[in-house]
Amino acid sequence: MNFKGELVMELYVHCDPALEIGDMFDGNKKVIPIVGGSFEGPNIKGEVLPGGADWNVTRPDGSSEVWARYTLKADDGTLILVTNQGKLVPKPSAGEEDKPFNFKEDMYAYTVPSFEVSDEKYNWLNNSMFIGTLDLDPKGVHLHFYKIV
């Protein structure tokens, strides 16, 4: 089965330094505070509000799980809740050569965002399925969310 995706928004999510919880039975846990940012797509744009976070677990095999919850504020004032869950997995070739680690080249990073919004104008966010990509940015993370069509 093939999936097609339609870009609905690009996000720049700014983060503060991680709060290190420490090593637990299932990996190293940390909480990454979300402190702002922006988003824009063909039919929507606005800001990422401070107050969310990413609860992150890095496993001994080098993979990570992310679970982030935060709020978007569209330019028209509409508030949109986002829950974004995903995995970061080292590519098989990562670490084989004597070269510095490069996130974009050495990791697969995909997420499954979901949205909650009460405004009918954005009801398509409630009733669609999405997949996301994640890359590191100097201030936090750079995400692309695609609607599965």
Question: pLDDT tens string for the chain (149 positions)?
Answer: 577 899 999 999 999 999 999 999 999 999 999 999 999 999 999 999 999 999 999 999 889 999 999 999 999 999 999 999 999 998 876 555 666 667 667 788 999 999 999 999 999 999 999 999 999 888 899 999 999 99
The predicted pLDDT at position 70 comes to 98
CA distance 102 to 100: 6
* Direct distance between the N- and C-terminal alpha carbons of the chain, in angstroms, rounded to an integer: 12
- Between CA 104 and CA 87 the distance in angstroms is 14
DSSP 56-116: EEE-TTS-EEEEEEEEEEETTS-EEEEEEEEEEEE-TTTTSSSS---HHHHEEEEEEEEEE
Q: Which amino acid is it at 95?
A: G
User: What per-residue confidence (pLDDT) applies to 98?
Assistant: 63
Name all domains of the chain by residue range, CATH numbers in brackets: 5-148 (2.40.160.20)
Its sign, for the CA torsion 86, 91, 97, 102, is: negative
Residue 116 has a pLDDT of: 98
For residue 1, the model assigns a pLDDT of 58
pTM of the model: 0.90
